[in-house]
Structure 1
């Protein structure tokens, strides 16, 4: 874990005191989805430069941003990965702790999949199916009324779905994948009800509470930040489904398969073209105050934003990252390498 013990001998950076020495190794925390991409770049960077290989930890997007925003100094991370954009509340928390210069790096796209074992049939869900199967409360059929989710079987949600128990293994609340799934899949199905969609304009808090709350009765099982564990459990139970990023599905395609969502398969081209309905952007954030103090940060950014890494034919695409467009990469390269301050 990234803890203060890692840098017990390092001098803490402050605005009033310039350090005489610092950590000699970049530290990166954050998203489990971005973790394999960041790790790959870190390993290449360590082998191709005179800098030490950065330490990369998978803490979840929320957990990583919490660590990142805790302060400026060598006992705090230099970079945090995120499978969602930083929130305004997190930017404010950063500022409270003196982290006022943040560089945002949008690195590519990913799809969130609902996967199951290849020993079972591939299933096609609608966004409405996902909401009705996983929401804590659902509409009763009478406008304005809801009830605790009574469904225990998928075919109770929709007779076209298999007659199997609703059991979905997914990430915890600290995960950017969980945040994105809730916003894209759950809310996408929730607002298919006209009266709920109208509620967004009249009572945003009630709308969000209804659309974003996942049931807590055992149908949704928090499986931590370890996607490998989810795959193991899917292989052990072919009736269960798991939620994780497309890149992880691609790495485990011999064992698991992605469900269709609104008739679209989670495939590279469908995500890249925006046809797959549950897709999101991936990011990392850099603490500008650490650049020039912790060795190698600028060189690491150059490696990550090189065509060899994040380009259409780059080694990250081979790992499952859906590349940005050429124009997006050009603009991103200028902003990232120029250490442009985050603009919300």
Structure 2
């Protein structure tokens, strides 16, 4: 994603927010998608192709983070709310219930492909071979101490976490709480890493809520630094901050291989193959959520969704793969395309 594209997205976001003030009088003629910064470059590429082939008003795509996009999507039905929420994690039960409360009763969930969360550093920096438990032990706010009590994380260098890691200060730039990448990192990295530690495994069995709170809370002592929704900014920070690590989507790694490198997790490097087959521990699915009540009202919405799921777009060798999307296997893509074509309404999430 270029700086110019991000600047355009920011400008669009301001325009969209200005339009949200009056649901009864606001009008628009183009498609509006908002949400994940990871899905942003894919949705933008689809929007570019759709506008070029279909004409009419250019679709509007905003990078607000998964949580921010779903929050806007769930505010109601009408032109001052997005047609599509882009997401780098599944919709939560609480978000689904917010949608229902606000009259957004027909939601279509479509999986568009895979991505992986990478832990990266500058290409010229030392290499890390991280274990899942190193993520928790290095980045959790509280860790097990003596006598079974939890204490503020005392580690300040990576070799204090694991003697096999470099003697470098812990300094990790990552996404904020509104980001689906942050949610997925906690679910796929921090929590499984915590369960590899006996005291946390026992807590998970005894008190699931307390375990989740501890495993999902990152440090607040400036060794984890929230870096906004712009994953590209994290990439640029790594090159300016020797020894630091960054947490962002695989697609941004592929676009910046000349300046950054991915670290292995449990000996496995992120790649299209290891993400697609699930062997890379931090692999995840990407989604779009479509407001079915806007189909037939927002011009071209149904066609835009089908362009997103077309073979030329989401298929193997499609133009989204060129942007870094890891395509679904053929059978899964066919199943998701059928959901898109029929506009099958999703069931309530279980959690």
When the two structures are superposed, what TM-score results if normalisation uses the length of structure 2? 0.92
Equivalent-residue separation in structure 2 for 1:267 and 1:325 (angstroms): 15
Q: 1:138 to 1:174 in 2, by over 3 A?
A: same
Q: Secondary structure at the match of 1:221?
A: strand
Question: Structure 1: which 5+ residue stretches go unaligned?
Answer: 14-21
Equivalent-residue separation in structure 1 for 2:334 and 2:146 (angstroms): 50
Q: 1:35 to 1:306 in 2, by over 3 A?
A: same
Within 5 Å, give how 1:170-209 maps onto structure 2.
170-209=174-213
Within 5 Å, give how 1:1-344 maps onto structure 2.
1=13, 3=16, 5-6=18-19, 23-140=28-145, 142=147, 144-343=148-347, 344=349
Equivalent-residue separation in structure 2 for 1:96 and 1:222 (angstroms): 31
* Contact kept in structure 1, 2:126 and 2:243, CA below 8 Å: no
* Runs (4+) off by over 3 Å: 2-13
Q: 1:27 to 1:303 in 2, by over 3 A?
A: same
Q: Secondary structure at the match of 1:3?
A: helix
Q: Cα deviation per residue 1:228-279 (whole Å; 9 max; x = unaligned)?
A: 2111211111211110000000001100000000100111111111110011
Q: Cα deviation per residue 1:74-127 (whole Å; 9 max; x = unaligned)?
A: 011110100000000000001111101101011011110011001112211001
Q: Secondary structure at the match of 2:58?
A: coil
* Contact kept in structure 2, 1:104 and 1:341, CA below 8 Å: yes
Equivalent-residue separation in structure 2 for 1:269 and 1:101 (angstroms): 34
Q: Secondary structure at the match of 1:92?
A: helix
Q: 1:94 to 1:155 in 2, by over 3 A?
A: same
Q: Cα deviation per residue 1:32-75 (whole Å; 9 max; x = unaligned)?
A: 00000000000000001133221001000000010000111101
Higher helix share: 2
The range that moved more, 196-205 or 2-11, is: 2-11
Q: 1:202 to 1:232 in 2, by over 3 A?
A: same
Q: Secondary structure at the match of 1:43?
A: helix
Please give the root-mean-square deviation of Cα atoms over the aligned residues, in Å: 1.6
Equivalent-residue separation in structure 2 for 1:79 and 1:126 (angstroms): 36
Q: Secondary structure at the match of 2:327?
A: coil
Equivalent-residue separation in structure 2 for 1:145 and 1:115 (angstroms): 32
* Contact kept in structure 1, 2:126 and 2:166, CA below 8 Å: no
* Contact kept in structure 1, 2:89 and 2:286, CA below 8 Å: yes
TM superposition shift of 1:318: 1.1
Q: 1:225 to 1:218 in 2, by over 3 A?
A: same
Instruction: Give aligned pairs, total.
Output: 335
TM superposition shift of 1:6: 3.3
Equivalent-residue separation in structure 1 for 2:56 and 2:285 (angstroms): 29
Equivalent-residue separation in structure 2 for 1:50 and 1:235 (angstroms): 40
Equivalent-residue separation in structure 2 for 1:7 and 1:82 (angstroms): 21
Equivalent-residue separation in structure 2 for 1:305 and 1:252 (angstroms): 26
